[in-house]
């Protein structure tokens, strides 16, 4: 007889959470730039000189040597006056007014150093490890469940429901508004990326690269076999176990959630690569 076994939820959030946070970046530029002339008038101001504030505790990667920008962002209407140190309240204030963005979903986000955490997480998704302290969202509620039988352990179908709030937060957003908000705040994301250890890197190019990598994640049909001796688990299939952290988590969240995330990622990719 099959038995469903619970495991404590890891602090490592799912890609759902990460992508929901990315979606939050994009979510409400139209409201933000039209709520008052004072806000719009900051666009085009000289970039403020800042020193990097303490951000996500990560080991900086080797500095990027790339100089050719593949997917430039038009910054003519961007906010060049806000610093990263000043950005949390302004950014969250904008998100709270976004059409389509669910206000309750803001509780999923870590409200401190949000842009720095988002940039660090995006950069880390294709790498070997994703540091817990960089993730811009709070842990997924509930526990990771494994169905145990004589044939072995598999990911329980009920796990998919745990990630639905993150997927709902993502799929409810208007992609055009999302891309516009991203452009408005882009100088802050670029600065955070340089502070991370890429003085010559371009964040939008990295974002597109990461989206492409996530879109290549396989979509295996359940049940998916795992080895779960304790709180941690591993995929039995060596090809799945060899995936990047971002791709592994996409597999973990279940077929319908993975499909919804990939569809939104394709929309975002087109929006941030179209002049």
Q: What is the pLDDT of residues 32-45, one digit of tens each?
A: 333 333 222 223 33
| Closest residue by Cα to residue 82 from 54, 127, 41 | 41
- pLDDT over threshold 60, residue 26: no
Q: 83 in a domain, yes or no? A: yes
Torsions phi, psi of 36, nearest 5? -160, 150
How would residue 134 be classed by pLDDT, with cut points 50, 70 and 90?
A: low
Q: Where are the beta strands (DSSP E) in 194-275?
A: 225-227, 234-235
Q: 241 in a domain, yes or no? A: no
The model's pTM is 0.75
Bridge partners of 155, per DSSP, are 146
In degrees, to the nearest 5, what angle opens at C-alpha 12 toward C-alphas 168 and 135? 75
DSSP annotation of 226 reads E
So what's the pLDDT on residue 136? 65
Bridge partners of 149, per DSSP, are 152
DSSP annotation of 106 reads G
So what's the pLDDT on residue 108? 67
So what's the pLDDT on residue 37? 31
Round to whole Å and give the CA distance between 231 and 10: 8
Both tokens assigned to 85: 């140190």
Distance of CA 33 to the CA centre of its chain: 23
Q: 53 in a domain, yes or no? A: no
CB burial class (10 A; 0-12, 13-18, 19+) of residue 31? middle
Distance of CA 172 to the CA centre of its chain: 15
Round to whole Å and give the CA distance between 221 and 90: 42
- pLDDT over threshold 50, residue 8: no
Helix, strand, coil proportions of the chain in percent (round to 5)?
50, 10, 40
- Sign for the CA dihedral angle at 245, 138, 117, 26 comes to positive
Q: 170 in a domain, yes or no? A: yes
Q: 189 in a domain, yes or no? A: yes
Q: 215 in a domain, yes or no? A: yes
Arithmetic mean of pLDDT, 170-196 = 87
- pLDDT over threshold 50, residue 19: no
Arithmetic mean of pLDDT, 70-96 = 89
| Closest residue by Cα to residue 235 from 261, 255, 245 | 245
Q: 4 in a domain, yes or no? A: no
SS3 195: helix
| Closest residue by Cα to residue 176 from 268, 98, 101 | 268
Domain count, the chain: 1
Arithmetic mean of pLDDT, 227-255 = 86
Can you give the residue range of the structural domain that contains 67?
12-45+63-142+160-221+246-273
Q: 190 in a domain, yes or no? A: yes
């Amino acid at each position: 007889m099959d038995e469903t076994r619970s495991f404590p939820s890891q602090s490592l959030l799912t890609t759902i959470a990460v992508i929901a946070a990315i979606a939050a970046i994009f979510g409400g530029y139209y409201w933000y730039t039209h709520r008052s002339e004072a806000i719009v008038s900051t666009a085009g101001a000289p970039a403020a000189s800042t020193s990097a504030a303490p951000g996500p505790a990560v080991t900086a990667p080797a500095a990027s040597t790339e100089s050719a920008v593949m997917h430039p962002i038009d910054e003519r209407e961007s906010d060049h006056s806000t610093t990263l140190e000043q950005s949390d309240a302004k950014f969250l204030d904008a998100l709270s007014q976004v059409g389509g963005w669910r206000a309750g979903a803001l509780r999923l986000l870590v409200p401190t150093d949000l842009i720095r955490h988002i940039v660090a997480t995006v950069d880390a998704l294709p790498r070997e490890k994703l540091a817990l302290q960089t993730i811009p969202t709070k842990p997924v509620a509930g526990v990771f469940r494994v169905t145990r039988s004589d044939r072995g352990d598999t990911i329980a179908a009920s796990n998919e429901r745990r990630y639905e709030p993150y997927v709902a937060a993502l799929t409810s957003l208007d992609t055009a508004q999302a891309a516009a908000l991203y452009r408005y705040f882009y100088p802050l994301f670029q600065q955070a990326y340089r502070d991370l250890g890429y003085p010559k890197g371009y964040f939008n190019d990295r974002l597109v690269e990461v989206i492409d990598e996530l879109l290549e994640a396989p979509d295996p049909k359940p049940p998916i076999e795992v080895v779960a001796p304790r709180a941690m688990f591993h995929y039995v299939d060596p090809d799945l176990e060899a995936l990047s952290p971002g791709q592994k988590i996409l597999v973990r969240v279940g077929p319908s959630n993975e499909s919804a995330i990939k569809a939104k990622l394709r929309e975002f990719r087109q929006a941030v690569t179209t002049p």
